Amino acid sequence: MISQGQTVTAPCSNKDTGSSDPRISWLYVDKFYQELKNGSLKVRISDEAFTCPYCPKMKKPDYVYREILEHASGVGQSSSQKRGIREKATHLALMKYLKLDIIYVPAPTKPVIEGDSSGK
């Protein structure tokens, strides 16, 4: 039986987060995910630029969507012992938020002109 104030930790599923670290709690990831979802942390800088709210002193302060997703999954799924449970959980939450809540449609990189077959 669980008493009031006691924390239950259930391992994250590889299916949802990709993490195999049994110490990371669903409740922990969900707490950070809710913070992202309610807007208390800023992820989107502009239509094309994103930032990691958990790594404010990064060399690269802004990312395109693909890069921020790679960053979040790389840190969250890291097997390195240097990465703490909190750091992994925050990044797994960021990865979940990016996949579920950020609707991102990249802008075309080059305008297409109808009838132009020259490739210029």
pLDDT confidence of residue 73 = 95
Is residue 77 a part of any domain in this protein? yes
**pLDDT per residue as tens digits for the range 70-109:** 999 999 998 888 888 899 999 999 999 999 999 776 666 6
Q: In terms of C-beta density within 10 A (0-12 exposed, 13-18 middle, 19 or more buried), how is residue 18 classed? A: middle
Q: Which domain holds residue 79?
A: 18-100
Question: What pTM was computed for the model?
Answer: 0.69
| Residue bearing the bigger pLDDT, 84 or 23 | 84
Query: Is 7 within the bounds of a domain?
Result: no
| pLDDT at 18 > cutoff 90 | no
Q: How many structural domains comprise the chain?
A: 1
Q: Who's near 116: CB < 8 A, 6+ residues apart?
A: none
The answer to whether residue 66 is domain-embedded is yes
Q: Is 111 part of any domain? A: no
- Per residue in 45-64, pLDDT (tens digit) is 988 899 999 998 877 778 99
pLDDT (tens digit, 9 = 90+) per residue, 24-39? 777 889 999 999 999 9
Q: State the amino acid at position 32 in one-letter form.
A: F
- Give domain status of residue 3, yes or no: no
